Amino acid sequence: TEAGFLSAVMQLPALMNPFLGLLADRISLRYFVILAPMMTAIPMSLLGLAPSYGVLLLILFTAGISVALFHVPAPVMIARMAGAKKGRGMSFFMTGGELARMVGPIIAVGAVSLLGLTGFWPIMVVGIVTSGILFVRFRSIDLAFHNRGTKISLMTTFRNMRHILMPLTIILIARSFMHGSLAVFLPTFIENQSGNIWMGGIALALFEAAGVAGVLIAGSLSDYLGRRRMLLLSLVGAPLCLLTFVLSGGWVRIVALLGTGCTLLSTTPVMLALIQEHAKESPAAANGMFMMIAFIARSSVVVLIGLIADWTGLETTYLISAIAGLAGIPFILMLPGQNSHED
C-alpha cells in the first residue's frame, strides 16, 4: 500500500498540467524544458537518503512536478520546431521517451547494485549535464509566439479547444480500456494460459516493442494521410487485433499481439500533433488539458478493468476492452479534418 501511494504521489502533479501549461504560455518555453532534467534527477537521486516516509513523499512530489514541467511544454516546442511535419516531430519525441523508459530502469538498477541506494546520489550529475547541454542547444532558439503579452484563461482555452478535447476524451477512455488491460494484466494472462511466467514477460516486451515501432511510424504517416484518418486506422485496427489475440493461438496470436501494440500505442503522437495544430492561442495550456484528461482517463479505467477482471476473468475482460475500444470510433469522425481531403 505504501509503495503504491508513492507512485500515486509522484503522478499527482499531472492534475496541475493545465495550470503549468498556462504558465508556460506566458514564460519562455525553453526554460521549462532545459531545467526539467536537472530538477528531476536531483530529487530522484536523493531517494536513498530520505530520513522518513514523509520526506520520501515530498521528494517524489517534487520530482513529479518537474516531470510535468517537461512534458507539458515539450510537445509545444517540438511542434514549433517541426513546422509542417508536426506528426513526424511528435513521433521522434515519443520514440525517444519510450526508449528512455526501456533503458532508464536498467541503468538505475545497475547503478543501485554498484553504489547502493544511499550512494545513488552522484547519478544526479547526468541530469545536470543534460540540462547544460539543452541550455547550449536551445538558448538561441526563438520560441515566442504572437500573443505572448495576452493573458488567456483556461476557460477560454477550453472553449477554443472543446471541439477537439471533448471527442478526444471519449477516444482516450475507449483506448484506455485496451491499453490498460494489456499493459497491466498481459503477463498474468499469458502466464495463466501457458503456465510460464517468462512467456508473460516476453509477451509484454513484444507489445511494447511493437508500440515503439507504431509511435515512430504513425506521426509521420499522419502528416500525409491526415490526423483523423490515421486515428481511424489505428482505432479500428487495435480492437480487431486484440480480438484476434484473445480468440486465436500460436503464431497468429503473436502477430495479433504485435499488431495490437503497433496500432494501439501509435495514437498518442497523432493526438499531440492534432492538439498543437488547433491550439494557436495557448498551445501549452491546451496540451496540459489533454495530458490531464489522459491521466484521469487512464487511472480511472485501470481501476475499472481490475474490477471487471475480478468478476469475469481476464479473457472476458479483454473481449470487453476490445468492444469498448470500438466505441471510440464514432468520436473520431467528430474531429476536424486536417486537410480538405479528410472532410
Tens-digit pLDDT profile for residues 54-91: 898 899 999 989 888 888 888 888 888 888 899 999 99
Q: Is residue 144 part of a domain?
A: no
Q: Nearest to residue 221, comparing CAs of 312, 65, 88?
A: 88
In sequence order, which residues have a C-beta less than 8 Å from that of residue 169 and are 6 or more positions away? 293, 297
Domain boundary among 138, 169, 200: 138
Q: What is the 3-state secondary structure (H, E, C) of 224-288?
A: HHCHHHHHHHHHHHHHHHHHHHHHCCHHHHHHHHHHHHHHHCCHHHHHHHHHHHHCCCCHHHHHH
Q: Is the pLDDT of residue 261 over 50?
A: yes
Amino acid symbol at 108: A
Q: Is residue 146 part of a domain?
A: no
Same domain, 314 and 185: yes
**Higher local confidence (pLDDT), 1 or 31:** 31
What nine digits make up the cell of 65? 512536478
**Higher local confidence (pLDDT), 63 or 338:** 63
pLDDT tens, position by position, 79-130: 888 888 999 999 999 898 888 877 887 788 788 888 888 888 899 999 999 9
Q: Nearest to residue 206, comparing CAs of 180, 187, 234, 228?
A: 187
Q: Is the pLDDT of residue 12 over 90?
A: no
Same domain, 241 and 103: no
Domain boundary among 80, 112, 138: 138
Same domain, 122 and 166: no
Same domain, 254 and 201: yes
Q: What is the pLDDT of residue 321?
A: 95
**Higher local confidence (pLDDT), 177 or 104:** 177
Domain count for the chain = 2
Domain boundary among 77, 109, 138: 138
Q: Is residue 260 part of a domain?
A: yes
Same domain, 170 and 313: yes
Q: What Rg value do the Cα atoms of the chain yield, rounded?
A: 21
CATH of the domain at 69: 1.20.1250.20
- For the chain, give the percent of residues with pLDDT over 90: 44
Q: Is residue 49 part of a domain?
A: yes
76 touches 287 (CB < 8 A): yes
Domain containing residue 267: 154-342
The pTM assigned to this predicted structure is: 0.84
Same domain, 78 and 44: yes
Neighbours of 161 (CB within 10 A): 23
Q: What is the pLDDT of residue 341?
A: 42
Helix axes 283-312, 314-326, angle to 10 degrees: 140
